Amino acid sequence: MSAPTAPTEDRASSAPPRGTKLSPGRSKRVPLSAIARRRSLTGWTFLIPAAALIVLVNFWPMIQALFLSLQTGRGTRLTWAEPLWLNYQRLFEDETFRLTLSTTFIYLIIQVPIMLAIAMVLANLLNAPWLRFKGFWRTAIFLPCAVGLVSYALVFRQIFATDGLANDLLIKFGLLDDNVNWLGQTGTARMVIILGLLWRWTGYNMIFFLAALQNIDRSTLEAARVDGANGFKTFWYVTMPQLKPIILLCAILSTNGTLQMFDESYNLTNGGPGNTTMTVSHYLYNVSFRNSPNFGYAAAISYAILIIVAILAAIQLKVGDKRD
């Protein structure tokens, strides 16, 4: 005869109630809600110092700059402007600001599309299965990004000097009859700056495109070839749609970087001749530190740059981010 079993009620009563968790020593039961709160508190303990540091270093100076843009005066002798938007009103009357802004947009309109197109071509070549020594070519193209901004600007300044290497080579090959003052004329000086930007930043964007190309689903390319699409159609109708997010990212980064460009204008041409190669960030620097310091007006210029960058980024997102 088998031994009697305990009633079902007794066994059920000995199990821990739902929503609790036994501690390792099984000495007490901890509710799951308490564990969740403890984990949340631990996460906030690590997050709050970093968030406070970001606010202190990034956002608080932005707020201070906004208040500063509503003040006028020289040096540290600042008073509230009358009216408060006086510095912003001055932007529309400042011929130098309009000139530097138009020059910056010339760099943006010419350089960014050319740079992204070259970067895309290079990325496709470096992604080709038949290419040998890929590591060497990738390193060689990306290497200019590792060169300091000031260093490469000074090198370009020497190359395109009146007695520099560019003139020597062009005269030697019969393309020029006499030396050209590349940095002393508006058109050629702007061209030198654009060449410098292309040399410096094309490899940077190429890395983004190359990474995106290597993550494309190969089956889609094979399907296009089976359907009879040639190389160009495969790239345009299959590859490009899958690269839209990274193209949009590179376009936004390049646009923002060009609108905030300073080193090339300062080190290559120093804004000359006649401020015709000066960027708006270079002008902001002059207003702040080189001329009689006017920090209020400089802060207004910085907020104008911020607004322009935000508007262009929003337009690019609206135009480029068309999700199905």
Burial 250-283 (b: 16+ CB within 10 A, else e): bbbbbbbebbbbbbbbbbbbebbeebbbbbbbbb
Residue with tokens 């350089």: 111
pLDDT digits 0-9 by tens, 108-164? 999 999 999 999 999 999 988 888 888 899 899 999 988 888 888 889 999 999 888
| Higher-confidence position of 115 and 28 | 115
pLDDT in the model for residue 1: 45
Burial 204-234 (b: 16+ CB within 10 A, else e): bbbbbbbebbeeeeeeebeebeeeebeeeeb
Model confidence at 18: pLDDT above 80:
no
pLDDT digits 0-9 by tens, 214-227? 888 878 888 888 88
Give the pLDDT mean for 292-312.
91
pLDDT in the model for residue 106: 96
For domain 94-320, the CATH architecture is Orthogonal Bundle (1.10)
In the chain, pLDDT over 90 holds for what percent of residues? 43
pLDDT in the model for residue 44: 85
Enumerate the domain spans of the chain: 94-320
pLDDT in the model for residue 29: 59
pLDDT in the model for residue 11: 46
For the entire predicted model, the pTM comes to: 0.80
pLDDT in the model for residue 250: 93
Model confidence at 321: pLDDT above 70:
no
Kindly state the tokens that stand for 62: 């932005």
pLDDT digits 0-9 by tens, 91-101? 999 999 999 99
With bands split at pLDDT 50, 70 and 90, how would you rate the model's confidence at 189? Answer: very high
Model confidence at 8: pLDDT above 50:
no
Task: Pick the closest to residue 282 from 99, 158, 106 (CA basis).
Answer: 99
Model confidence at 104: pLDDT above 60:
yes
Tell me the average pLDDT of the chain.
85
pLDDT in the model for residue 218: 79
pLDDT in the model for residue 12: 45
pLDDT in the model for residue 109: 95
The residue count for the chain: 324
Give the pLDDT mean for 42-59.
87
CA distance 46 to 53: 12
Low-confidence winner among 34-43, 201-210, 252-261, 304-313 (lowest mean pLDDT): 34-43
Model confidence at 323: pLDDT above 80:
no
pLDDT digits 0-9 by tens, 272-298? 898 999 999 999 999 988 877 889 999
